[in-house]
Structure 1
Amino acid sequence: MSTTEFNTDSFRDLTFDLLSGVANDTTKFDELNDAYLNKLHERTDGDNLRRYAREIYEKILSLQIVQSNSAVHLKDSFHERIIVVYFWTFSNVHSLQTLERIIGMDRRYSSAGVTIIGVHSSKYEHEKNKANVRHAVDEHSIPFAVVNDNNLQVWKHVGCQIFPTALVFGPDALPIFIFEGENHVQHLELFLVPILAYYKSSVRAPSTDTLSIKTSPDDLSATSATPKTPRFTYPSHVCVTSSGHLCVSFTGSNQLIFCEIDGKVLDIVGTGHAGLADGDIVQCEFDAPHGLIEYNNCIYIADTNNHAIRVFDPNSRRVVTLIGTGRLGSDKIGGLKRSQQPIASPWDLCITESPFDHKLVLLISMTGQNQIWAYAFEETQWWNDVILQKNSCSAIIGSGTEENRNSSEPMTAGLAGPRGICNGIMNGGPVLFIADSDSSTIRVVTLQDGHVANLVGGNGDPTNLSAFGDLDGSGHNAKLQHPVGIVFHYPSSQLYITDTFNNKIKRVDMKTLMCSSYFVTDTDRKKQRGETNSAKFNEPYGIALFEHYLYLADKNNSHIKCIDLDHGTIIR
């Protein structure tokens, strides 16, 4: 059966109608779900639908499993099981937000008859590489098999349109649901228990041999608990404090380290277990902490998967939650205070002065909402005569629509997965720079009025989020690939960027507005690019400045690198 003979749209409509019916009357959930499944089994084209499902299974089996060099052990997983095929990509924040739920479902239901298979469907060239996907699988501790759909053959066969997408099959290989987008996929678990009950007589328990993630000797060498494995994994962001200390967030081990500038560790903050717990440094928990900034001798933390802003006080050695409920928010306006305000995947932080009353606010790149938010430490005047109330958290830039849209009105601008954010100067005035990752652009915001403009990357079409590459130049002629980290060096008027998926550092000269690759010398020949003495990176992420030194979180290498900007060399 060819793809054109299967009407994916019809399943979209059926799933949507079921979700709508349940939303309208939750008391009829069981009745509506049973009626839906009964009607599905009465379809006259059931054999064709099962043939279609088996074609998908075969295509999945033809792909490399990221955690293994062989896909043979997956074959029996499709037999007499509820199958959830989860399409995702590690650059997409909505995929990552839903991934946490999918991992939880796997842990709760795999022994009851549910098999989850991740299909990593790449957007960027960088994401096509199996090793890079493997790093993402390891960083997020994914327990189920993930296949590398680097040419999008399964994605296209199914007719997927957005990330994430979950396709559900019964134990008889009959397609049941297709959940599309973050808002729909989060409802998937509601249907797993009744589906398991409906198919109780035909669902079998898993065998250890079938469902375990088998690894080759080469793979084992990269993940087994040997002395070569770093204690702290996947450093994300770096902050240098006013006292000259270094703080680093680790998304892989869900911890912070607080250390001397030479790397001597003073404190390890967090248990290492993913969770949301306040307390002292041996009790508190984080879940994928990212951006860091110092304010009033405390470290503010973008605790991404907890959808919260946390605060670490090095003096009391305690962590508290400042903003967020701990659950994914959908509010695109805000205005509530502290932990009453739900937020969505905060990624980076910046302390900025109001251009009107010169009071300081905490800016948050709210990646999950495609916006920039502000937390007011005290009542503060802002753009358009807005008064930010003390201890409130509100959206100040971005409509929430995922776009590369610039605007003189900050709330009508469109951002796309903004990550890094920093202060700077342009044309003699204070600005904000935003690493808008999913549009592969750097945006500049005039602090005086909130005007949002393009600095480098992308193109003129605000709906085109695929104008990425690796080209030096100015404006749209420059091309980036998913930039994340950003910091402004005031003495030289240079903006430094981690061009993360190009594995490069780039910089923009604010005098000429030219964006160019910045190569630094590494005397360690094992860490050089090819035959040159230029340092190589593997997903460079957060960056911070201290005097003339640039500190960089080289994420997939699990290194923190220090670059002497005066000499262009890595010194440790």
Structure 2
Amino acid sequence: MKLIQSTILTLAGLSWLAGPGHAQIPVANQDFTILLGAPVSEPVFTVFGVGFDGTGTLYGVEFEEGNRLFRLGKGETKQTFIGGSYLKSNRGSGKSGGDGGKVGEALFSGMHDLAVLRNGDLLLAETWSQRVRRVDGQTGMVSTLAGTGQRGYSGDDGPAVDASNSGIYSCYLTSDESQLYLADLENARVRRVDLKTGRIQLVAGNGKKGPLIQGALATETPVPSPRAVTVAPDGTVYIVSREGNALFKIDRSQKITTVINVTGAKGAGGDGGEALQAQMNGPKNACTDSQGNVYIADAENHTIRKFDPITGKLWLLAGTPGKKGTGVGELNRPHGVCVGPDNWLYIADSYNHRVVKVRL
């Protein structure tokens, strides 16, 4: 496939041009822009998750380098840190707290992801504390939505605040804001919290080790290392398997199958071809657009991939497979993706310590 040269977009005085890679999505213009991070703004550290509220404000979470929350208002070029404390590592330190108080005084430990409601409420996957925290967008008050703070597995069909988990690595809010999906990775399960009732239920995984049983009911098969979950507009649930290097799909009959990398082998090949025969390497996150396409942060390949469910093909969107870098169009272990209100894909370019965006 011939790569069509992109146009240049300038933000805060810095211009970037999307460069060549493997087979890229055949679009006329593909812009790649640094939004946050050096050299365009005050530093951010290991950004793992990004999302938008209803006003177009961008929110993000930093992992262990920063352990902070930040926001960037529509049209702004400088982020505001709104919560957390810059601590080199909170893992195992117990430095998580602040429920019942303001977000500016709270501490967060090992945040991996977030979901943002239209009203500005933040739902935080605080992995090392085994909880999902909630920040009220109007008052700034912090509370716990799910998890007891203790490792384990319990609580299905009961109140989410009384349920234990072993590492919520990802959270995904449905478009109607009624359900929050959770990737409970170390329990090898995906769970769902009803935000109206506050109750939690099992979606996928029987907690056992082993390969996925193709075509099984999602709750009756092992689901290897579910690292992230996303839901398409038609209700299809997609699960990112970190160690399985794969993408799984749960259809409306609740049966689960592999749609990317049926062998599970590590690799970077297959762009432009059938997704079932393609490879990934340690994918970490995913999101969907209004057409049902799935965008995957293929972290250890330093790329973003696009899965088209209609054609069953996989495409390279950003990054150079197997090569990390800070240059034109390059990424370094991206851990988060979301589609913004402007129909650009926003990427947590985690180990380049920045947020970038790519035109879809």
Give yes or no for TM over 0.5.
Answer: yes
> Within the alignment, does 1:443 sit opposite 2:209 as a pair?
no
Distance 1:286 1:544 in 2: 22
> Within the alignment, does 1:348 sit opposite 2:147 as a pair?
no
Secondary structure (helix, strand or coil) at the match of 2:161 reads helix
* Counterpart residue identity of residue 325, structure 1: T
Distance 1:501 1:560 in 2: 17
Distance 2:282 2:288 in 1: 18
Distance 1:336 1:310 in 2: 18
**Of residues 544, 551, 555 in structure 1, which corresponds to 2:346?**
551
**Of residues 63, 70, 73 in structure 2, which corresponds to 1:260?**
73
Partner of 1:368: 186
> Within the alignment, does 1:310 sit opposite 2:133 as a pair?
yes
CA contact (8 A) 2:326 2:352 kept: no
**Of residues 264, 267, 292 in structure 2, which corresponds to 1:469?**
267
> Within the alignment, does 1:402 sit opposite 2:209 as a pair?
yes
Distance 1:498 1:249 in 2: 16
Partner of 1:420: 228
Greater RCO, 1 or 2 (C-alpha within 8 Å, sep 6+): 2
Aligned residues: 303
**Of residues 237, 240, 244 in structure 1, which corresponds to 2:52?**
240
Say if 1:285 and 1:495 are closer, same or farther in 2 by CA, change over 3 A: same
Secondary structure (helix, strand or coil) at the match of 1:264 reads coil
Distance 2:262 2:109 in 1: 31
Deviation of residue 494 (structure 1)? 2.7
Say if 1:296 and 1:335 are closer, same or farther in 2 by CA, change over 3 A: farther
Larger Rg: 1
* Counterpart residue identity of residue 267, structure 2: G
Distance 1:555 1:244 in 2: 22
CA contact (8 A) 1:259 1:267 kept: no
CA contact (8 A) 1:258 1:269 kept: no
Secondary structure (helix, strand or coil) at the match of 2:148 reads coil
Deviation of residue 536 (structure 1)? 1.0
Partner of 1:481: 281
Deviation of residue 561 (structure 1)? 0.5
C-alpha deviations, 1:388-415, integer Å up to 9, x for none?
xx32222221111233313331211221
CA contact (8 A) 2:153 2:163 kept: no
Partner of 2:238: 433
Secondary structure (helix, strand or coil) at the match of 1:551 reads strand
Say if 1:359 and 1:238 are closer, same or farther in 2 by CA, change over 3 A: closer
Partner of 1:527: 326
Say if 1:373 and 1:543 are closer, same or farther in 2 by CA, change over 3 A: same
> Within the alignment, does 1:537 sit opposite 2:331 as a pair?
yes
User: Which one has the bigger strand percentage?
Assistant: 2
Partner of 1:516: 315
* TM-score between the two structures when normalised by the length of structure 2: 0.77
Deviation of residue 247 (structure 1)? 0.8
C-alpha deviations, 1:41-82, integer Å up to 9, x for none?
xxxxxxxxxxxxxxxxxxxxxxxxxxxxxxxxxxxxxxxxxx
CA contact (8 A) 1:402 1:417 kept: no
Say if 1:551 and 1:263 are closer, same or farther in 2 by CA, change over 3 A: farther
C-alpha deviations, 1:343-367, integer Å up to 9, x for none?
11101112238xxxx9922111111
* Counterpart residue identity of residue 73, structure 2: E
Deviation of residue 479 (structure 1)? 0.4
Partner of 1:66: none
Partner of 2:142: 319
Partner of 2:34: none
Distance 2:310 2:118 in 1: 33
Structure 2 residue runs of 5 or longer lacking an equivalent are 1-38
Distance 1:314 1:270 in 2: 15
C-alpha deviations, 1:144-186, integer Å up to 9, x for none?
xxxxxxxxxxxxxxxxxxxxxxxxxxxxxxxxxxxxxxxxxxx
Deviation of residue 511 (structure 1)? 2.3
Partner of 1:290: 112
Structure 1 residue runs of 5 or longer lacking an equivalent are 1-226, 379-389, 460-464, 529-533, 566-572
- The share of aligned pairs that are identical, in percent, is 18
Deviation of residue 451 (structure 1)? 1.1
C-alpha deviations, 1:89-135, integer Å up to 9, x for none?
xxxxxxxxxxxxxxxxxxxxxxxxxxxxxxxxxxxxxxxxxxxxxxx
* Counterpart residue identity of residue 410, structure 1: A
Partner of 2:14: none
